Structure 1
């Protein structure tokens, strides 16, 4: 599937919120309480997302995957790491969702590669993310992409239920530097 990734605009907010809420309901069914998922609202999510998008101190970069027909098919958000250590050069993938009917088509890999590139461009040497421990599909996706669990665990509340999330990380490799001009051949010294 032909996909291109660009920064999200306000015109994308409704589609992104539908992808996020639909993604939660699909990915977390049987993990997050059904009552929590049922209470999620695309409209409320869109209101929050618009408010975040308008903030001049917005904490991350929102990216959308767009199909050949111009339809938004996925969303990711990346920025500086929000937790304590592992260091000032750490970035964080805050979210990555693909329309459930398009999972497995390569959109997620394209979004992830672009998010990693943006994080590296922002000066981050490592990208971290949190994933629900029971979300085996997402864990497999990130592990296949070279991420490893680093042993950190946090617990988040989903209504009356507390669920563990595992932190994953991956070093980011900056683009190779251009060779210096006029370099001395070490064999001539």
Structure 2
């Protein structure tokens, strides 16, 4: 059973470092398997590999031209329990990108800490640091838990829809947007 946010100390959020990559990969893969069970093909989720994703993260992390900010949340024992990545809006927007907007590319928490404030701490820090007037994100249409989470944080669907495919299975996403926190 998950603890409640009141039971846990606020997680420490900091910039991701290279030694965090393996832990971030594990958070991402376990997060996908938990969050998208029943929403994406199980064969796809079962095929996700921590080592493969860690190698992708290493390559992205080493790219000096990368404009992505990666944050991690640490639990009381210092272990990485959550990860978020954000940066300039990507070109995946069917209506074109707004050049001054930011995008939350990813936000995942280990399944055993969901509901303890890890996601909220990461999102709060993303919105505090985002040098953009607005931040958007894409969320699976059927992911009711994530949609509630983002709506409680002030994000609203803005009408953007994107359908990706996973193992030949359509995966519809909806776009959410909100103003970034004033600096």
**TM-score after normalising by structure 1:** 0.88
Q: Show the counterpart of 2:34.
A: 26
Answering whether residue 52 of structure 2 is matched by residue 35 of structure 1, we say no
Residue deviations 1:151-184, cap 9 Å, x none? Answer: 0000111111011100000011313xxxxxxxxx
CA distance in 1, matches of 2:145, 2:65: 33
Cα-to-partner distance string for 1:46-88 (whole Å, 9 max, x where unaligned): 0100111000011310000012211101000010000354522
Pairing of 1:1-189 with structure 2 (within 5 A) = 1-2=8-9, 3-83=11-91, 84=93, 85=96, 87-119=98-130, 122=131, 124-175=132-183
Is the 2:81–2:113 Cα contact (8 Å) retained in structure 1?
yes
Counterpart of 2:139 in 1: which secondary structure?
Answer: strand
Q: Quick one: distance in 1 between partners of 2:25 and 2:180? A: 28
Aligned-partner Cα distance in 2 for 1:87–1:23: 29
Q: Which has the higher contact order (CA 8 A, sep 6+)?
A: 2
- Give the distance between the partners of 1:71 and 1:113, measured in 2 at CA: 20
Listed one character per residue, the Cα deviations across residues 115-135 of structure 1 (whole Å, up to 9, x for unaligned) are: 11111xx2x000000000001
Looking at CA atoms only, which structure, 1 or 2, has the larger radius of gyration? 1
CA distance in structure 2 between the partners assigned to 1:10 and 1:173 by the alignment: 28
Secondary structure (helix, strand or coil) at the match of 1:32 reads coil
- The RMSD of aligned alpha carbons is 1.0
What is the TM-score when the length of structure 2 is the normalising length?
A: 0.91
User: What is the aligned residue count?
Assistant: 172
Q: What residue in structure 2 maps to residue 179 of structure 1?
A: none
Matched residue SS, 2:125: helix
Distance across 1 between alignment mates of 2:90 and 2:168: 25
Equivalents in 2 of 1:43, 1:161: separation in Å?
25
